[in-house]
A and B are shown apart, each in its own frame.
Chain A
Amino acid sequence: MSGSRGRLAAIRATIAALEAGGRPDAGVLPFGDEGLDGRLPGGGLALGRWHEIVGVGLEAETSAAPSAFAALMAAPLAKKGEAVWVLRRDDLWAPGLEGLGFPPERLIQVCARDEAEALAVMEDALGTVGVSAVFGEVEAVDLTAGRRLQLACERRGTTGFVIKRRPFGGTGKAEAAGSVTASRWRVKSAPSEPAADEFGLGAPRFEVALERCRGGRTGAWILEADRAYSWEAGDVAHPLRLVADLGDRELAPASGRRRAA
C-alpha cells in the first residue's frame, strides 16, 4: 500500500514538474487547516496561478460574497505587495475590505470599459513586479484568455483571482466547456452563529465548494472569517477558519466524482 502511495506521489511530482515547464514553483498559501490544505496540491492555495471564484443566484450580479471571500483568501498576499482589482462597475468599497483585513491602501482599482479590456489589464498587472495579487471581475474566461492569464501569472509568480460577475440585468454568457483555472470556488454566504452571549451578528461565514482543483481534490466547507471587523492588526494566521466539512466528495460514488484534468 505504502509502495503504491510513494509511486503515485513520484508520478504526481513528475507531472507537476512537467506542467511547470522548468519554472520555479511560486509556492502555496496554506489556509492553516489540515482538512482544507490536504485537498489542495502542495498543501495550500497555489500561487503563480489564477483561481476562479463564482457566486450563486443574485450574487452572480452583485458579487458581494465572492469578492469578500476573494479578499479574505488573498489578504495575506496583499500585505506583501500591491494588489490590483479590475472592475467593470466601481462599487467596490475600501472600508469594507479593510474590515475584512485586506489593506485598501495597497489596492489599485481599475475600472475597465469592457470584458476584453478587463482581461488585458489583468494580464498586464499580473506581469508587473511588485504586484502580488490581481483580482478581475469578468463575465467569462474562455480557453485562450485563460491560457494568456496563466502565462502572465507564471512570468512573475503573481496570483490571479477571477471573480465571475455578470452585468446587472444580463443573462450571462454560456460557460466555456474547459478552463485552465487552477481552482474554482463556488461561494455563497452561510448563516452566522454568534455566541450565545453575543448580541447581533456573528462573524461572516461562507459556504464554499471547491468545484475544480488542478492536481487536488474537490470538496465543500463552511469557512468563517473569525477576525473580520475586529480591527486587530498584526495577525499572521490566515483570516479564514474552517468551521465544518460538508462531506468528502472522494467518498462519493465514482459516477459523481469530478476531477480536474
Chain B
Amino acid sequence: MRRVVSLYLPNWSVDRLRRQLGNDAPPPDQPLVLVGRVGRRRVVTAANAAALQAGARPGQAATQAQALIPGLDVRDADPQGDADALERLAVWALRRYAPVCQADPPDGLAIDATGAAHLKGGETAMLADMVDRLAEAGVQAEVAIAPAYGAAHALARFRRDLRIVDDGGIDAAIGPLPLEALRLPHDLVAGLRRMGFERIADVVHRPRAPLALRFGPDLGRRLDQAYARTAEPLIPVEAPEAPRVERVFAEPIGAPETLARYAGALAADLCRALEAAGLGVRRLDWLCYRVDNRLEAVRVGLARPVRDLSRITRLLTDKIETIDPGFGIDRMILVATSAERLDWRPGAAALAETATPDVFDLIDVLANRIGARRLYRLQPVESDVPERSMRKVPPLAAPSARDWTPDWPRPTRLLRRPEPVETLALLPDNPPTHFTWRGIRRRVVRADGPERIFGEWRRRDAELHAVRDYFQVEDDAGERFWLFRAGDGEDATTGSQAWFIHGLFG
C-alpha cells in the first residue's frame, strides 16, 4: 500500500513574500493583496486573511479590490519566484521526510512517504512535524496522508478533521467532499453540477460510459487516481550536489538475490563517490524504477555519517522485502540525499588499544527496521513525581550530567498508570495491613515508608496541594510492591486518600 502525503500551502505566495520582507513585512492585520497580469488585466492572485475578510478575492480586478478596501497594500505577484521556491521546498522535504517528493504548483507538495514515516516516529508524528516546521518558518500548511495522491490532495484542501486515511477508508473520507476536490477543470465541475452531481460520492458509483461520453476521460481518470485504482507516478525532485549513482539494466530484474547483488554494486559505487568527496551518508535513498513506470523507493537513515560499504549494503538488503518489483526493475538509483563531512580516522591509536565498543551499527539497523522511536534510553529528569522523573532519549543522546540517586528504593517495573487497590490501613501514616490487587488479596508482612512526594504546582494548578505517600511493602511470599496513598491521610485537599499500586520490585 502506498502512503502519499499532500502538503497544501494555502497562503504560499503571501507567506513567501512576508518571509522575504522579514522585519519590513507589514503587520499581519494589514490587508495585503498580490497582483499579477492575466492578459491585459491586472488581477488579484493572492490575498492575506485580512484582505480576504475585507472582501478581496483571487481573480478579482486589482482596481476593484483597491476600491473595496481602504489602505490596501498592493504588491506585485511573482509566480516564477513562487514556483522556484516551491521546488526548493520539495528539496527540503526530500532531505527531511521521504525519497520521492514533487512540487505540485502552484501551492502544494506531493510526498510519497511509503516506508519512510517510521524514521520520523510514525505518520501522525511526521505530519505534525511538517506542519510545525513550516509554521516556524511562517508558512501555513495543511497536510493529509492517504493511499493515493488524489485522495490526500482532496483531504488536505477540503477536510480539516481527517488527516490519515487507510486503504479501506478512502470512500468514506472523500465521498462527501464537493466535486472541486477532484482536481478537475472548472467548467467540467460546473457541467457536472448542472446535471445535479454535488459530491464525489454522487459520481463515483455511476456508470462510467455515459459520463465519459459527456465529459471526456478526465473525470474517470481523476476518480481512479483519488481512489488509488490507477497509478499516479510522481516525478521525484533531485537534491542538487547529492552524491548519486545509477544503473540501467538491459533486462529488467526482480529476484531478491539480484536486487541484493546490485544494491551491493551500487553501494560500492556510492562509497567511492563519497570517498572522493570526503563525505559520509546520513540519509540514503534507493529508487527503483519499474518497467511499468512505477517508482519503488526506500529510505535509510543513519545515526552518524557513514561510508562503510558493508554497513550500507546491510541496511539496504534489510529493506529489499519492502520493494515490490512488479514486472521488473530496469533502473536503480542510489542517492546520498543527506551527507556530512567524514574525514579519515585511524581505527585504533595503538595496536594494544582495543577499539571502543560501537553500537551505532546496531542502532542504525534497528532504527531502520522498527523505527527510531522504539529505541531509547531512559534519562533522569529533575522531578520528584516518579512517572515524570524519567524521559526517553535517543540511544545516542549525550549522557545527562544528573545522576539518579533517590534516597529510597525504586521498583524495577513502573505501571503505566497507578492502579487502584483495596486496602486496610490505619490513618494517617501506617502502611496497609492487607491489599487486594488484580483479585489477589495479599497480607503485608513488612513495610517501609512513608516517602512523601509533593505535587508539582508549577506544572498544574491541581497539584498545588497534592501529596502522595509511598510505601514499599512486602507480602508473606516475599513479593514487593510500591503502593501509595493519594493524600496525607488527614487533609482532604491533599488527595482522595485512596490507595494505588504504582510499581513492582520483584
The chain A residues found within 8 Å of chain B, CB to CB, are 58-59, 62-69, 71, 81-82, 84, 89, 91-100, 104-105, 107-113, 117, 120-121, 124-125, 128-131, 188-192, 194, 199-202, 204-205, 207, 228-229, 231
8 A Cβ contacts from B440-499 to A: 440, 445-448, 472, 474, 476-480
Known: A95-B390, A188-B477, A189-B477. A124 touches B362 (CB 8 A): yes
Is B474 a contact of A201 with CB atoms below 8 Å? yes
Known: A71-B412, A130-B357, A192-B446. A62 touches B504 (CB 8 A): yes
Set A69, A92, A131, A199: member contacting B362, Cβ < 8 A: A131
Contact with A along B280-317 (1 / 0, CB 8 A): 00000000000000000000000000000000000000
Known: A95-B406, A95-B410, A131-B362. A189 touches B506 (CB 8 A): yes
CA of A99 to CA of B472 in the docked complex: distance in angstroms? Answer: 14
Residues of chain A within 8 A (CB-CB) of B412 are: 64, 67-68, 71, 92-93, 96-97, 100
9 interchain residue pairs of minimum CB distance: A130-B357, A64-B506, A200-B448, A65-B506, A96-B412, A64-B504, A68-B506, A95-B410, A189-B478
> What are 12 residue pairs bridging A and B, where the CB atoms are less than 8 Å apart in the complex?
A58-B440, A67-B413, A91-B416, A98-B405, A107-B377, A107-B378, A113-B374, A128-B361, A129-B355, A129-B357, A131-B359, A131-B362
Residues of chain B within 8 A (CB-CB) of A188 are: 477-479
Is B506 a contact of A204 with CB atoms below 8 Å? yes
Residues of chain A within 8 A (CB-CB) of B410 are: 93, 95-96, 98-99
Set A110, A200, A204: member contacting B505, Cβ < 8 A: A204
Set B358, B415, B446: member contacting A91, Cβ < 8 A: B415
A123 to chain B, nearest CB (A): 11
Beyond A95-B406, A124-B366, A131-B359, 6 extra complex contacts between A and B, CB < 8 Å: A91-B414, A95-B386, A128-B359, A129-B361, A190-B478, A201-B472
Residues of chain A within 8 A (CB-CB) of B506 are: 59, 63-69, 189, 204
Residues of chain A within 8 A (CB-CB) of B216 are: none
CA of A69 to CA of B504 in the docked complex: distance in angstroms? Answer: 13
Residues of chain A within 8 A (CB-CB) of B480 are: 64, 189, 201, 204
CA of A201 to CA of B476 in the docked complex: distance in angstroms? Answer: 12
Residues of chain B within 8 A (CB-CB) of A82 are: 357, 359
In the complex, which of the residues B386, B411, B476 has the most CB atoms of chain A within 10 Å of its own CB atom? B411
Q: Which residue of A lies closest to B411 (CB)?
A: A96
Majority-rule SS of A interface residues: mixed
Contact with A along B21-42 (1 / 0, CB 8 A): 0000000000000000000000
Known: A63-B413, A84-B362, A108-B377. A200 touches B357 (CB 8 A): no
Is A108 a contact of B395 with CB atoms below 8 Å? yes
Q: For the complex, is B363 an interface residue (Cβ under 8 Å from A)? A: yes
CA of A24 to CA of B97 in the docked complex: distance in angstroms? Answer: 45
Q: For the complex, is B409 an interface residue (Cβ under 8 Å from A)? A: yes
Residues of chain B within 8 A (CB-CB) of A89 are: 416
Is A124 a contact of B376 with CB atoms below 8 Å? no
CA of A229 to CA of B438 in the docked complex: distance in angstroms? Answer: 28
Contact with A along B363-380 (1 / 0, CB 8 A): 101100110001111111
Q: For the complex, is B399 an interface residue (Cβ under 8 Å from A)? A: yes
